[in-house]
Amino acid sequence: MVKVFISSIIRGFKQFREAARDAVVEAGMQPVMVEDPELFPAQSMSPQTVCLRSINDSDVFILILGQCYGGRTESGLSAVEEEHWHARLNEKEIKVFVHSVDKEPEQEEFLTRISRWESGHFRNPFDSPKDLKSKILQALYEIPKGQEKKMRTPLNEGIHRVLQLPALSRRAWGCHAL
């Protein structure tokens, strides 16, 4: 079964997280949420370790952003932003949903970082839990079967390496358009 990790702040977001869970279940997939005591029982590992491992074991990563950025961790980022970058590094299918409310400056900065032309995500705005559920369902149904787990082909691997090079190096290799 396809596993879908749901990432957001928790405080004050219960109704949105429940809507996301309901959408994932309705799509025939398994939600992975820290509120689930079967998936996240009491453990000796840190919450960070457990959550990042759960992202590794998931196929799809849903990021739900609202007004608040969340508290900063030792890395200087919020736990939600750490989860996002971990999902990116592990090439998860990422779907981003943004609550249509005014946001804290830190949250606006996070949105800017994940929305860049070169490396960002398209975002889907939502107004209510019902709207969020509908948009998550649509996004999950649009994932082509078998694409939940992205596989790198040799061509994609080469493109990935070129995109990691600084712009000057890319030009030296004749990759002006990248």
Q: Which domain holds residue 89?
A: 3-147
One domain for residues 51 and 99: yes
Name the pLDDT band for 148 (thresholds 50, 70, 90).
low
One domain for residues 117 and 170: no
pLDDT of residue 177: 43
pLDDT of residue 36: 84
One domain for residues 138 and 175: no
One domain for residues 108 and 163: no
One domain for residues 30 and 100: yes
- Residue 73 in this model has a pLDDT that exceeds 90: yes
Q: What is the mean pLDDT of the chain?
A: 84
One domain for residues 60 and 37: yes
One domain for residues 74 and 50: yes
Q: Mean pLDDT, to the nearest integer, of 139-147?
A: 80
Q: What is the CATH number of the domain that holds 53?
A: 3.40.50.10140
pLDDT of residue 93: 94
One domain for residues 141 and 157: no
Q: How many domains does the chain have?
A: 2
Give 100-105 contacts, CB < 8 A, sequence gap 24+: 100/125, 100/126, 100/127, 101/66, 101/67, 102/67, 103/65, 103/66, 103/67, 103/68, 103/69, 104/67, 104/68, 104/69
How far apart (Å, rounded) are the C-alpha atoms in residues 98 and 47? Answer: 24
Residues 29-43 pLDDT 10s: 999 998 887 888 888
